[in-house]
Amino acid sequence: MNAISRVVENNWTSALILEDDVDWDVRLRSLLTDFALASDTILSRRDSVPLKFRELSFAHTPVSSPYGDGWDVLWLGHCGMEISERSCTVIHEDDETVPEVQFLHSWNQDETSPLVGYRPHTRVVTEQKDGVCSLAYAVSQAGARGLLSSLGLKRMNNAFDLMLREWCEGTHEEHPHRCIGVLPQLFDHYRPIGPSEVDSDISVPNGGYRHQPFTQNIRWSVRLNMDKILDGDTDYNDQWPDSTG
């Protein structure tokens, strides 16, 4: 909430808020460019018709943000979400940055990915639904003010990510807010070598030890490719290469 408060105090148009252990793909810039087109498309429509990314038009020019006009939250990093049926959905097929569905994971290891019915290497942008974990999210000025009013002044009775989800979905409001999510996520937790219980402040000590670092759902991890990035080597290590059959 302190970070959101800073956005309001400084009258920033928007801000991206990250947890300190997140990781992302080396190709993040192009991923955000694609996400911006999808987000702007969703925000400019009021139907629930699914659209193919390759068919999107660049004709609409947003006024306030490259991600579209009128958004409150862009939920870019999470531990899992569902695909909304009530909003327009943009389906980006053949996205080489997306692992095969067998390698996609959420906070619930036993849960089947919502993308299991889509073509391999598909990323979906839609209004947020059932998001868990606020690993990386952007707030607009309007979104920050709304969150401060609703969560900071009226209720602070749950984990922040669950309250953010409820605020987005309008659980305790007269209407939902414009929160755009992406699946698989663009940011995820980096898991370093060491005791697994340090992954989270709410982890239960279990004596587990991780011998190999990884980041779920991210193919060309920035953290795992840092030495190559600094050396100018572009032959990046792929955490989740395609299976050979």
| Percentage of residues in the chain having pLDDT higher than 70 | 94
CA distance 117 to 133: 24
Residue 152 predicted with pLDDT over 90: no
240 or 107, which is more confident: 240
Residue 200 predicted with pLDDT over 80: no
Residue 245 predicted with pLDDT over 60: no
Mind giving me the DSSP string for 150-201? IIIII---S-HHHHHHHHHHTTTSSS---EEEEES-SEEEEE-SEEGGGG-T
DSSP character for 209? Answer: E
156-186 per-position pLDDT tens digit: 888 999 999 999 999 988 889 999 999 999 9
